[in-house]
Amino acid sequence: MTTELYPEIEPYRIGELKVSDLHTLYYEESGNPNGTPVVFLHGGPGAGCRPAHRQFFDPNHYRIILFDQRGSGKSTPYAEIRENTTPLLIQDIETLRTTLAIEKWLVFGGSWGSTLALAYASQHPQRAIGLILRGIFLCRSSEVSWFYQQGASQIYPDAWEDFLEPIPLSERQDMVSAYYKRMTSEDEATRLQAAVAWSTWEARLAHLNLDPDAAASYLEDPRNALAIARIECHYMINRAFFPSDDALLNQIKSSLLGMPCRIVQGRYDLICPMRTAWEVHKSLPGSELRIVPAAGHSAHEPGISQELVQAANDFRSLKV
């Protein structure tokens, strides 16, 4: 069986799910309507889903469910951070599951999607038949500091200089707070300038080899950067609304033992360094860790995408 991405497909169903007076979520289903359900949890938070995300899954076997989290993609209102917390996102996943009359499903998430997948499955282990995770992130202080303060900047000082540029020297000791101040500004130009710089920093480090066109869409239309930057910063400054740095890891250890779990991790992931994936793997005896030697963070790096397809192929044996 090939480990290349499956051919492009179109959804057979598109819907909107009102989850509060403020928020309405976009969702879609593709693949086999009678197949094993799999829910795709996108990254960011705030990045939204893309058509290519359907292609990790065998459309003859899986009922593929994608949705845009609060404020992301086609969900409304766009880039909204009010009523946007991890507990509410977990609640939304359960609302979507019951709306679609699904008893159990495979949970697939990368980067922030791995955080949300672990948090969801830890609270609702009876609803997950397994986990496929990529680029593990637990939103601990050390991980946030690595990417937005001191760490990745040592490897990409040129890109870091561009990230620093919108922030006065007096505020650079806390870049997340400085950016949050600007992305919640009442001035639209200030919000958009900050969003472009924030998103560009991340996009430039997402691949092992720097992609000069990674941030092109943000530069062409700054509004493309707003949701991912504003919502991401909102979650970073609030440490994903977890009660403590180790809360999620402790919950994983107590709730997910024995659950089938495949972790795919780029060895040179600068956004979500491999140490976190290693800790989660060691906390879950029986989990599999597939390290991709020549890869960074993006799900679409060749070695990573192949491992994700392989994982979804292998997990076809799981029973609902």
Q: How many CB atoms lie within 10 A of CB 302?
A: 13
Q: Known catalytic residue: 281?
A: no
Q: Which of 8, 27, 30, 7 is nearest to 17 (CA)?
A: 27
- Which residue in the list 68, 207, 297, 305 is annotated as catalytic? 297
Q: Known catalytic residue: 297?
A: yes
- Which residue in the list 30, 111, 114, 122 is annotated as catalytic? 111
- Which residue in the list 269, 287, 298, 305 is annotated as catalytic? 269
Asked whether the beta carbons of 212 and 206 are under 8 A apart, the reply is no
Asked whether the beta carbons of 56 and 133 are under 8 A apart, the reply is no
Q: Known catalytic residue: 111?
A: yes
- Residue 241, judged by CB atoms within 10 A of its CB (0-12, 13-18, 19+), counts as middle
| 218/199 Cα distance (integer angstroms) | 7
Phi first, then psi: give them for residue 105, nearest 5 degrees. Answer: -150, 160
Q: Which of 65, 120, 125, 122 is nearest to 94 (CA)?
A: 120
Residues paired with residue 76 on neighbouring β-strands, in sequence order: 24
Residue in this structure with the two tokens 């593709």, named with its chain if needed? 30
Question: What positions carry a catalytic annotation?
Answer: 111, 269, 297
